[in-house]
Amino acid sequence: MPPELAGAVERVFGERADLARRYAEHLATSAVERGLVGPREVGRIWERHVLNCAVVGELLPQGAAVVDVGSGAGLPGLCLALARPDAAVVLVEPLERRMTWLREVVDDLALPVAVVRGRAEEVAGTGRVPPADVVTARAVAPLERLARWCLPLLRPGGALLALKGRTAAEELAAARPVLRRLGAVSEEVVTAGAGVVPGPTTIVRATVGPGRGPAGSRGRRTGSGRAGRG
């Protein structure tokens, strides 16, 4: 870990800082060996990945039910489970090799996190995942497609938090009509981690209305689209 980030790690993870370090070791070793993380990312695991994702915990309501779609190497889902132990986190991942790795890491860290194999559009409304207060996604798909997959997983009043970086405003402008058709009542670009990490995380937040109906009842997507990272 870069020494200049030690304070941020303690601030974000608190008593779970040691577990966060173990998770980062998994990312830098077995995740690279299995092709979940690129070798060039090892030197920036903390700044670009772990902390970048964990600060999104600022946006979670207390005791939130969180579904992380296309979880891959647990980004941001496992980071949020570590930073926000009050949250109930479910990781949804379609690829078996990634799902297997996620379960191994969850077991090693003894985290109360569920790992479900499948695509978002396959699990919405099936009871395989609980209706979510928050659905998260990072590097999964353009926002327009992501909305079709993720909004049906939300309970009324819930929110999609899509980590988008520099493309956030552009993607939101393009996707706003789709978001509204799927029941979103507000959409905005927000940031997390200001004053904590060197570069705050940019997120699109789309909130569905309180009268939207049960999760999975609107916007179900058919076909073979993917909710993972390939």
Where exactly are the structural domains of the chain? 3-208
- What's the CATH fold of domain 3-208? Rossmann fold (3.40.50)
pTM: 0.89
Closest CA to 94 of 65, 66, 121, 133: 121
48-87 pLDDT per residue, tens: 899 999 999 999 999 999 999 999 999 999 999 999 999 9
Question: Positive or negative CA dihedral for 145, 150, 156, 162?
Answer: negative
CA distance 61 to 172: 23
* Axis crossing angle, helix 96-109 with helix 17-28, rounded to the nearest 10: 150
- Residue 229 confidence (pLDDT): 37
CA distance 76 to 161: 10
* pLDDT at residue 227 is higher than 80: no
DSSP 3-state of 91 = strand
Q: How much is the average pLDDT of 3-29? A: 94
CA distance 117 to 99: 6
Q: Say if residues 51 and 12 touch (Cβ distance below 8 Å).
A: yes
* pLDDT at residue 166 is higher than 60: yes
CA distance 11 to 160: 25
* Radius of gyration of the chain, Cα coordinates, nearest whole angstrom: 16
- Residue 212 confidence (pLDDT): 55
196-212 pLDDT per residue, tens: 888 899 999 999 998 75
Give me the chain's average pLDDT, please: 89
